Amino acid sequence: MYSETIELRGHIIDSLILPKVLDQILTHGANFKITEINIGKKRADQSFARLEVSAPTSEALDELILRLRQHGAEVAKRADAQLVKAPADGVFPLDFYVTTNQQTFVRIDGKEIEVHPAMMDSAIALDRKKRIARAVKFFDVCKDDEIVVSHEGIRVVPVQRSTSRTDLFQFINVIIDADEPKSAVIRGLARELQSARAANGKIAIVAGPAIVRTGAGRHLVRLIQSGYVDRLFAGNAFAVYDVERTLFGTSLGLNPDLAFARGGHENHMRAVNAIREAGGIASAVKKKVLTSGIMHACVAHNVDIVLIGSIRDDGPIPGVTTDAIEAQKIMRETLADVSHVLLLATIHHSLAVASMLAPTVKTVCVDIDPSAVEKAVEHQPLQSIGLVTDVEPFLRELADCVVEAESAGSARK
């Protein structure tokens, strides 16, 4: 048997760190012995545990220790990280360490450096002189950059459970199902967003076309007008649906007041054409081609708009980033200072954004498909809420709560 001693620190029981570590050990067919344990007496107290982990082969132990480190375990016998030079531009050395989205430290010359940003599925490049550790994507790496390999010298600090009792996000991967009440959560979310705004938090919305098609656009506009949206991420289709609705009053050619008539794709194409002719969304607002709607509200209220292209797009309209790698870079930059994200009815963009978030970003996902909601919140275990519902009533109720609170607030002054 091969063994290693690991240590755990923090709220290791109620944040599920110790249970997850034990679960990993058992799942990998390994064994453990707890050599020391010291559980915090009160809620706010820290705990500590030291475990001896053993596995039948050295490889199995190594694989297991990697996994335990990702859940916050530290190896007792501290070593420096191992570095290997990148063999070519855009290529990492064999066995490079793959990051999680948790706060991560790397030990060099006996001292730890924090890796920035906290970005998953990257390698860690180290600048020894400047003592800087960067999480880098493939396109970021140049030949001879020093890259961390294996997982020695790595320490991960998982997000711990909030000890505040009033925090909407103090629970573990909460999902409100279709047949459960949502009003209380929506009211709580309105309060959370108000606090966020008061504290200069940045709120991002990732928005799917169903928002426009179901008629929920006007509720999103109210949120924008009240100052609750700092960034908007969407596809070309979302913007075009909004423009079609503003210019022609239709959605896929369908006037929403005619209950059933299935319209055609003509107005959608003409909306693309109109924005191309105007030179883009901002120009269209300036030239008064576009005088209302979500995109207009974004321009009027200085919301940063990130439009992302796809192989299903018509057009696209100017301003859409059609290259996927370029779009990833822009998304990452625009998400860097965000504190709250609402993922609304757009699984593809939601999963992309969710994989780019720092672990402390508070995340709400709304979708009518339960499995979409589940996947979107799984990366933020202690910071996310999912709601399985229609996006239209969600946005209506959220905007009602926010606007009500606003007018109550201004009345008070």
Residues 330-359 that bind a copy of itself (CB under 8 A): 331, 345, 348-349, 351-352, 355
List of long-range contacts for 302-305, beta carbons under 8 Å, 24+ apart? 303/224, 303/229, 303/230, 303/231, 303/232, 304/230, 304/231, 304/232, 304/334, 305/232, 305/234, 305/239, 305/281
Candidate ranges 20-28, 110-118, 197-205, 219-227; the one touching a copy of itself (CB under 8 A) = 20-28
For a copy of itself, the binding residues in 388-407 under the rule CB under 8 A are: 388-390, 392-393, 396
Contact with a copy of itself (CB under 8 A): which of 40, 201, 280, 381?
Answer: 40
Measured from the CB atom, is 37 or 403 closer to a copy of itself?
37
Which residue in 84, 310, 381, 406 binds a copy of itself (CB under 8 A)?
310
Which one of 109-117, 172-180, 282-290, 334-342 is the stretch in contact with a copy of itself (CB under 8 A)? 172-180
* Rounded CA separation 272/281 (Å): 10
Residues 209-268 that bind a copy of itself (CB under 8 A): 209-210, 213-215, 251, 254, 256-262, 264-266
Count the alpha carbons within 13 Å of 375 in the hemisphere toward its beta carbon. Answer: 14
Minimum CB separation from a copy of itself for residue 85, in Å?
A: 14
Cα 60-64-66 angle, rounded to 5 deg:
120
How far is it, in rounded angstroms, from Cα 301 to Cα 335? Answer: 18
> How far apart are alpha carbons 328 and 233 in whole angstroms?
12
- Subset of 64-103 contacting a copy of itself (CB under 8 A): 66-67, 70, 87-88, 90-92, 94-96, 98
Q: Which residue has the tokens 């344990």?
A: 37
Secondary structure in 3-state letters for 189-242: HHHHHHHHHHCCCCEEEEECCHHHHCCCHHHHHHHHHCCCCCEEEEEHHHHHHH
For residue 373, give the 3-state DSSP assignment: helix
Whether 320 and 272 have beta carbons less than 8 Å apart is answered as no
Q: Which of 130, 312, 412, 413 binds a copy of itself (CB under 8 A)?
A: 312
> Of the candidates 59, 180, 333, 337, which one interacts with a copy of itself according to CB under 8 A?
180
Per this entry, what is the length of the chain?
A: 413
Q: How far is the CB of 224 from a copy of itself (least distance, A)?
A: 20
Total binding residues toward a copy of itself, as defined by CB under 8 A: 110
Question: Closest separation between CB of residue 372 and a copy of itself, Å?
Answer: 11
Say whether residue 170 binds a copy of itself (CB under 8 A).
yes
Under the binding rule (CB under 8 A), the answer on residue 33 touching a copy of itself is: yes
Binding mask 277-306 for a copy of itself (x = CB under 8 A): x-----------------------------
Pick from 126, 168, 358, 376: which binds a copy of itself (CB under 8 A)? 168
Helix (H) or strand (E) holding 351: helix 347-354
Q: Please say which residue, 2 or 171, places its beta carbon nearer to a copy of itself.
A: 171
- With CB under 8 A as the contact rule, the residue among 370, 378, 404, 407 that binds a copy of itself is 370
Q: What mask of x and - would describe binding to a copy of itself in positions 141 to 160, judged by CB under 8 A?
A: --------------------
Q: Would you say 27 or 57 has its CB closer to a copy of itself?
A: 27
Residue 307 near residue 236, CB atoms below 8 Å = yes
Could you tell me the CA-to-CA distances from 212 to 38, 62, 208, 221, 295 in Å, in that order?
54, 50, 8, 11, 11
**Runs of H (alpha helix) within 44-118:** 58-70
- CB nearer to a copy of itself: pick between 202 and 213: 213
Q: Specify the residue, 98 or 196, whose C-beta has the smaller distance to a copy of itself.
A: 98
